[in-house]
Amino acid sequence: MDLTFSPEEEAFRQEVRAFIEETKPNLPKDPGGEGHVDSREDYLAWHKALYRKGWVAPLWPKQFGGTGWNVTQRYIFNEEVANAEMPTTLPFGLNMVAPVIFTYGNDEQKKKFLPRILSGEDWWCQGYSEPGAGSDLASLRTRAVRDGDYYIVNGQKTWTTLAQFADWIFCLVRTNTEVKQQEGITFLLIDMKSPGISVKPIIVLDGAHEVNEVFFDNVKVPVANRVGEENKGWTYAKFLLVNERSGIAGVARSKRQVERLKQIARAELLDGRPLIDNEEFAYRVADLEIDLAALEFTELRTLAVESKGQMAGPESSILKIRGTEIQQRITELTLEAVGYYGLPNERTFGANEYVGPDYAAGAAGRYFNVRKTSIFGGSNEIQRNIIAKAVLGL
């Protein structure tokens, strides 16, 4: 594998850097260095800056507003965005439901939904998981009954990320209970302003309102908002999950976080010496970097396959497993490095400020939050089963 960049590719890198420097919105600084923001406006500020430049959808076909970039350009862009600690664009519209729509949707759906996803006018959330139907997604029970030109939807979705901001939700619903579970599921696009939809917040361990429960009480959904065929939604769901799992790997941001970890380890002292000089700690950081480099090469090979028009298969499961495990190891080492400054929710008396250095702020919250990554997008245990069947033939 040739890891050198051509003069044209280096020129593209400089173009990306210049664009970020000139146009990055004035967002609250994330002490964790991940570009995390909290409000709808902050999320959309970077999205819309990219949209104006024509760079918001690198994974889309050019005919629908994609960039037309090759694999190397996408790799460079992701690296530079991570290094600049810019927020990630929300994946639910751009990287999850949009590929389903432009691959399986009809012309009317493409015209209606894709431009508004591209511009950021519509904020999407994902209606997959339910109480009792997470890793075993096919056991979902949210029901949709056909009534003329509408489906009447009843049920509940949970762990719905940022549903409090969403305009639309893409949902898996059960439309046939008399067949094998996977054969009775339909893929619907539902307006979150529809009567009968209610959103209840779930406050997580670090105090953030990131996820929600969404309830459907006799919600009327036009049949025109069904993607593809009735009872064939499992096919579209699997297609979407492949895209989600590949994106979860987060190699560029993990590389940035490892560099931040090493900076912390140089600042923190153990027995009067920088923590990075401790042989055991330095070994664990080096071991982490080696695994991350191996994951990066795997991601590049996967991107090369996709650039030829082929669909990623079990590779997406490999990326998901290793990527999320590495993310968790980074937060574990970071929390260990900051020591007692990483106590959860430790604030100065009478003020909403963290105790200790800025780099320790929120370390515990990120540690707790990243526990979820080995579960969402299909738990890592399920991904290992997929690999066993697809690669090993077990």
Query: Which residues does 100 contact at the CB level (< 8 Å), separation at least 6?
Result: 170, 187, 227, 236, 239, 240
- Cβ burial 96-124 (10 Å sphere, 16+ → b, else e): bbbbbbbebbeeebbebbbeebbebebbb
- The first and second tokens of residue 119, run together, are 């511009």
- The first and second tokens of residue 228, run together, are 């593809």
Among residues 73, 84, 72, the alpha carbon closest in space to that of 259 is found at: 84
Contact 191, 167 (CB under 8 A): yes
Assign 211 to helix, strand or coil.
Answer: strand
Report how far residue 78's alpha carbon sits from residue 381's, in angstroms, rounded to the nearest whole number. Answer: 28
194, with CB counted inside 10 A (0-12, 13-18, 19+), is middle
Bridge partners, residue 198, by sequence:
215
Bridge partners, residue 274, by sequence:
269
Assign 313 to helix, strand or coil.
Answer: coil
Angle among Cα 294, 296, 297 to the nearest 5 degrees reads 65
244 is catalytic: yes
Catalytic residue among 34, 244, 268, 299: 244
Report how far residue 294's alpha carbon sits from residue 322's, in angstroms, rounded to the nearest whole number. Answer: 10
Report how far residue 60's alpha carbon sits from residue 98's, in angstroms, rounded to the nearest whole number. Answer: 8
Report how far residue 162's alpha carbon sits from residue 122's, in angstroms, rounded to the nearest whole number. Answer: 13
The alpha helices in the chain, defined as continuous H runs, are: 7-23, 40-53, 71-83, 91, 98-104, 107-119, 233-248, 251-267, 279-307, 314-338, 363-370, 380-390
Report how far residue 98's alpha carbon sits from residue 64's, in angstroms, rounded to the nearest whole number. Answer: 10
Contact 329, 353 (CB under 8 A): no
Report how far residue 386's alpha carbon sits from residue 383's, in angstroms, rounded to the nearest whole number. Answer: 5
Active site residue ranges: 244
